[in-house]
Amino acid sequence: MYLLRLALASLANRRFTAFLTAFAIALSVCLLLAVERVRTEARASFASTISGTDLIVGARSGSVNLLLYSVFRIGNATNNIRWDSFEHYASDPRVKWAIPISLGDSHRGYRVMGTSQAYFEHYQYGHKQSLQLAQGRAFANDPFEVVLGAEVAQALHYTLGDKLVLAHGVAAISLVKHDDKPFTVVGILQRTGTPVDRTLHISLGGMEAIHVDWHNGVPARGAGRVSADQARNMDLTPSAITAVMLGLNNKIATFTLQREINDYRNEPLQAILPGVALQELWSLMSTAEQALFVVSLFVVLTGLIGMLTAILTSLNERRREMAILRSVGARPWHIAGLLVLEAFALAVAGILAGLSLLYLGIALAQGYVQANYGLYLPLAWPSSHEWTLLAIILGAALLMGSVPAWRAYRQSLADGLSIHL
């Protein structure tokens, strides 16, 4: 205990170097933990994007592509699914529920998704959580009603009753707008932390209505135009949709049904298991994620080497200190212990400061990260994994401290009580 007191007093005597050393460790620890936390949360939020859905069906492409556009609203479908294919599988006795999805339009950079009531009833994310309305209601019979994801409503300042115009296509700035058929906001969903927050939901009928007078990708002109009221009286059953999400009565049927859909004779279709596709997609990103982790490990190592350098360079100018200690009875192992304790104190100070920096950073950036990246960083006590990392850092610091300790041990044996000026 007295040795620790001596080590701290000696460090305090060199407080500027000690502060810089501890600060370097703190920054590296903060970086490592921040990367860890973002990694963990990204993986968790990624895995919880969709749950409860057994199969996603779309036109044949790749499983990752299908997952990307149907769940993450990234990229585009290569082809559509005919409505009768949807009806065929929706009415299959093994299928408990089917959610049709129709994509392709946007509103100020946010994707618009045409779907049915089933979406609000059956779509689940996270740990089998259903979508909840924060305000208003789901869209009903009128085709020109829209339900907004939480982020859309917040970012674009929409409230219930607001009118908005959808744009054709998914480019951020679209030149062709469906401005003849404005939509009314009837509901706003609660925040989910998934791509749902960034989506505008309309009925399939609404999706059909805004395109009813379109031919070959361009709107009709003059007499060919159909007004909103005219559209309301038309049959708005779509002829094609983009994808289908299926929930089954019995999970055991999943693989059989998947094979059947993949072999469907009337139309080339593809069915994927969301869990498997998520894994595939994540493994694409995990290389970058692991690289980030390795880089932050090296930053920690750099911080510790900085400490090693600082202690080693101090050894020579502290020969007198060591000799005085020897003359008052400190044995060589006391001298060695003093230096290990010094490394320990620096590492502990660095780790504590690093944790404080991390929590300060999270507290400041939490809202921004959530709003911009849909990533919720909890202000939580370190996880057991993080404690393990911190313990490893501390262990590495002690190991590094043993290098100057060994040198000082040898030095103090050789110098003895004589103090070389």
Q: Of the ranges 27-35, 172-180, 210-218, 330-338, which one interacts with other proteins (CB under 8 A)?
A: 330-338
Nearest distance, CB of residue 311 and other proteins, angstroms:
16
168 forms beta bridges with 105
Q: Rounded CA gap, 389 and 394, in Å?
A: 9
- CA 252 to CA 267: how far, in whole Å? 25
**Among 62, 224, 268, 416, interactor with other proteins by CB under 8 A:** 416
For residue 418, the minimal CB distance to other proteins (Å) is: 5
Find, among 100, 99, 187, the residue nearest to 147 by Cα.
187
Distance between first and last Cα of the chain: 30
> Is residue 330 a contact point for other proteins (CB under 8 A)?
yes
Instruction: Pick the binder of other proteins from 252, 284, 328, 379 (CB under 8 A).
Output: 328
| Residue 334 makes contact with other proteins by CB under 8 A | yes
- 104 dihedral zone (left: phi>0; alpha: psi -120 to 50; beta): left
232 binds other proteins (CB under 8 A): no
Shortest reach from residue 334's CB to other proteins, in Å: 7
- HSE value, Cβ hemisphere, 13 Å, CA-based, for 136: 22
Please provide the DSSP assignment of 332-393 as one string.
HHHHHHHHHHHHHHHHHHHHHHHHHHHHHHHHHHHHHHHHHH------PPPPHHHHHHHHHH
**112 near other proteins, rule: CB under 8 A:** no
How far apart CA 404 and CA 81 sit, in angstroms, is 70
Comparing CB distances to other proteins, the nearer of 18 and 32 is 18
CA distances, 278 to each of 45, 55, 56, 196, 403 (Å)? 11, 12, 12, 16, 47
The reply on whether position 410 binds other proteins by CB under 8 A is no
Q: Which residue, 332, 343, 334, is CA-closest to 401?
A: 343
Site string for other proteins, 276-315 (x = CB under 8 A): ----------------------------------------
Q: Segment near other proteins (CB under 8 A), from 86-94, 169-177, 324-332, 359-367?
A: 324-332
Instruction: Please select the residue that binds other proteins; options are 168, 326, 400, 401, rule is CB under 8 A.
Output: 326
CB of 40 to other proteins, least distance (A): 43
- Which of 325, 338, 345, 355 binds other proteins (CB under 8 A)? It is 325
Q: 66 or 341: whose CB is closer to other proteins?
A: 341
Considering only 60, 96, 225, 320, the residue that binds other proteins (CB under 8 A) is: 320
Instruction: Report the amino acid identity of residue 169.
Output: G
Among 161, 217, 222, 329, binds other proteins (CB under 8 A): 329
Q: Residues 96, 163, 331, 410: which binds other proteins (CB under 8 A)?
A: 331
Shortest CA distance to 306 belongs to which of 32, 23, 35? 23
Which residues, in sequence order, are CB contacts of 10 under 8 Å at separation 6+?
318, 321, 338, 342
Asked if 193 and 45 touch (Cβ cutoff 8 Å), the reply is yes
Q: Considering the complex, state which of residue 265 and residue 420 has its C-beta at the smaller distance from other proteins.
A: 420
CB 308 within 8 A of CB 400: yes
Q: At its nearest, how many Å lie between other proteins and the CB of residue 1?
A: 10
Question: Does 93 interact with other proteins (rule: CB under 8 A)?
Answer: no
Strands 183-189 and 95-107: what pairing? unpaired
Residue 291 phi, psi dihedral angles, 5° rounding:
-60, -40
Size of the site for other proteins (CB under 8 A): 22
Structure tokens at 378: 């909890």
Q: Which stretch binds other proteins (CB under 8 A): 64-72, 123-131, 210-218, 325-333?
A: 325-333
State the binding string over 9-38 for other proteins (x if CB under 8 A, else -): xx-xx-------------------------
* Residue of 283, 309, 327, 356 interacting with other proteins (CB under 8 A): 327
Which span sits near other proteins by CB under 8 A: 43-51, 235-243, 260-268, 319-327?
A: 319-327
**Measured from the CB of residue 18, what is the shortest distance to other proteins in angstroms?**
12
CA distances from 17 to 300, 323, 347 (A): 18, 22, 14
| Cα 368 to Cα 142: distance, rounded to the nearest angstrom | 36
Asked if residue 342 binds other proteins (CB under 8 A), the reply is: no
Applying CB under 8 A, which residues contact other proteins?
2, 6, 9-10, 12-13, 320-321, 324-332, 334, 416-419
